[in-house]
Structures are given as C-alpha cells and as structure tokens.
C-alpha cells in the first residue's frame, strides 16, 4: 500500500504503521485520518500479521488534529469531516492484529486518541502528552473521552481534559495509560522485543483475548456512543466564544 501521510509495511507476522510527516510533527489531517483507517483495514487482509506497531516518524508521535484541514466546508461536509477521527480510532481498535503504540516526543490531542485506540502503549521517558482541545474551544472528540475513562478513570480524564495541562511519560504510566516507560534510546528495541514476543504466540489466542477484553470494556464505557462526538466538534468550530478561545490560544503559541 502507498500512502501520502504514512508508511505501511510488514515483515512476517509484524506490521508497521508509521505516521510520516515528520517536518510537521505528524499532524492528523482529514487525509491522514482516512489513510490510517484504510491501513488498519489493509492489515486485516494480511492473514499472517499478528502485531502492528503504530509510531510517528521523527521527533514526535503526533502533534494532533490539523484543524486547518477541516475549514472552508459546507455544514454537511464539515460534519462528515469531524467524524473521520472517530472512524479512524474504531478502525485501529478493531484490527485483528494486536496494535502497539510506540510513543516518542509529543503525543497531542488526536494523537493521544490514536494511541488510546491501540491495545498496548510504550513510551520514551522523554515523551510528553497534552490534550489542548478545551483551550482551543472544542471538546475532545473522536471517541477520546470513553477511551480515556477506560484507561485512566473518570476523575483523571476530567482533570486532564479540562485543565489541558501537559504531562510526562512517568505520570502517564502511573495513571495506567502506558504499559511501559523506557529510556529514549531503548524505545525501538523494547517495542521490537514486545512485538516479537507477541508474534510468537498463536494468532487465535491473541485475537480472542483482544476481542474478549474489548467486549468487556465496551460494556463499561460505550465507545459506540461516540458517533455524536462530531456534532460537539462542529458546534465548537462555529461557536463565537470557542472561536475567541482558539484565537487566543494560537496567539499564545506564536509568542
């Protein structure tokens, strides 16, 4: 498969999905979201792939949603565009293969939702996380709320989403978002070792375990209700107070 915003490959039982716009810190544009979903479905057609490593090229995992790619559209088209993140996360989460997020540098907003959609997450000690959506006048969408509640609980989700404060890999590990934190220079090796360990196991047992856990947690948090996330996102993109908050945030970022 050939994509514009990411690279996809597999070697035996291990596949790799790499966000590949390092010069922009791997933003999640409309095109990128569609390509990630397509890549996840493509891996499902590769019967021998048991594990897919999800990573970002360069200095960051992902800088999050590229809001500029959602502008200048009709209301109907905007609603469809706003829903692409949810469809992306669902495609990654429903992959037959076990997905392992390899996180270095910044993992921001929608990038954190992508990581949350993966089954397992490893990060470098220097990795940094941020959920700035409320500061830019939009709710966290794409199914991010139920996935965070599932991984770190409701109180911590409310705190991190509403305060928008950055947090590091040690805290992300302590609250249960990460499976492991390793030195930056050891991340690639640690992820490869985990992938190899999983790839050596029976595919049916891996797949059944993944689906069983997902079925149990789906009853707890209900990610399928996130189809309405796009409506909240559309309102946030057009609301006057939200627009003012977004403009103030962007001015602060440019200082």
The predicted pLDDT at position 253 comes to: 76
- Could you give the angle at which helices 203-221 and 144-152 cross, rounded to 10 degrees? 100
Please state, as a whole number, how many other Cβ atoms lie within 10 Å of the Cβ of residue 54: 30
The reported pTM is 0.93
- Kindly give the residue spans of alpha helices, DSSP state H, lying in the chain: 30-44, 75-82, 84-93, 110-117, 144-152, 154-163, 169-174, 187-199, 203-221, 229-238, 240-254
Q: Which CATH superfamily is domain 6-186 in?
A: 2-enoyl-CoA Hydratase; Chain A, domain 1 (3.90.226.10)
Average pLDDT over every residue of 92-109: 98
Indicate if the pLDDT at residue 72 is higher than 90.
Answer: no
- Give the residue extent of every domain in the chain: 6-186
Spatial CB neighbours of 111, under 8 Å, sequence gap ≥ 6: 26, 28, 56, 60, 61, 62, 63, 64
**Alpha-carbon span 86 to 228, nearest angstrom:** 10
Average pLDDT over every residue of 175-189: 98
DSSP state, 21?
-
Average pLDDT over every residue of 84-103: 96
Spatial CB neighbours of 36, under 8 Å, sequence gap ≥ 6: 6, 17, 19, 28, 88, 91, 92, 114
Helix (H, G, I), strand (E, B) or coil at 53: strand
Average pLDDT over every residue of 109-121: 98
The predicted pLDDT at position 190 comes to: 98
Per-residue pLDDT band at 186 (split at 50, 70, 90): very high
pLDDT in tens, 198-237: 999 999 999 999 999 999 998 888 777 777 888 898 888 8
Per-residue pLDDT band at 43 (split at 50, 70, 90): very high
pLDDT higher for 72 or 188? 188
pLDDT higher for 225 or 19? 19
**Alpha-carbon span 182 to 125, nearest angstrom:** 6
**Alpha-carbon span 246 to 238, nearest angstrom:** 11
């Amino acid at each position: 498969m050939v994509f514009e915003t990411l690279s996809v490959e597999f070697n035996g039982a291990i596949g790799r999905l790499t966000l590949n716009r390092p010069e922009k810190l791997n933003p999640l544009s409309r095109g990128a979201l569609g390509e990630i979903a397509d890549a996840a479905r493509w891996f499902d057609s590769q019967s021998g792939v048991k594990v897919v490593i999800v990573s970002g090229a360069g200095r960051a995992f992902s800088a999050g949603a590229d809001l500029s790619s959602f502008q200048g559209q009709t209301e109907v088209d905007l609603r469809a565009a706003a829903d692409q993140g949810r469809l992306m996360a669902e495609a990654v989460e429903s992959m037959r293969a076990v997905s392992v997020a390899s996180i270095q540098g910044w993992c921001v907003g929608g990038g954190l939702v992508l990581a949350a959609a993966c089954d397992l997450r490893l990060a470098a000690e220097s990795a940094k996380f941020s959920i700035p959506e409320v500061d830019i006048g939009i709710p966290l969408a794409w199914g991010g709320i139920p996935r965070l509640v599932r991984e770190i609980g409701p109180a911590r989700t409310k705190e991190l989403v509403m305060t928008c404060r950055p947090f590091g890999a040690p805290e992300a590990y302590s609250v249960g978002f990460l499976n492991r934190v390793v030195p930056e220079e050891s991340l690639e090796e640690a992820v490869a070792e985990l992938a190899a360990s999983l790839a050596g196991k029976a595919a049916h047992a891996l797949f059944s375990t993944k689906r069983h856990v997902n079925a149990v947690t789906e009853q707890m948090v209900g990610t399928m209700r996130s189809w309405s996330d796009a409506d909240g996102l559309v309102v946030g993109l057009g609301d006057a107070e939200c627009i003012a908050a977004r403009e103030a945030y962007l001015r602060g970022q440019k200082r």
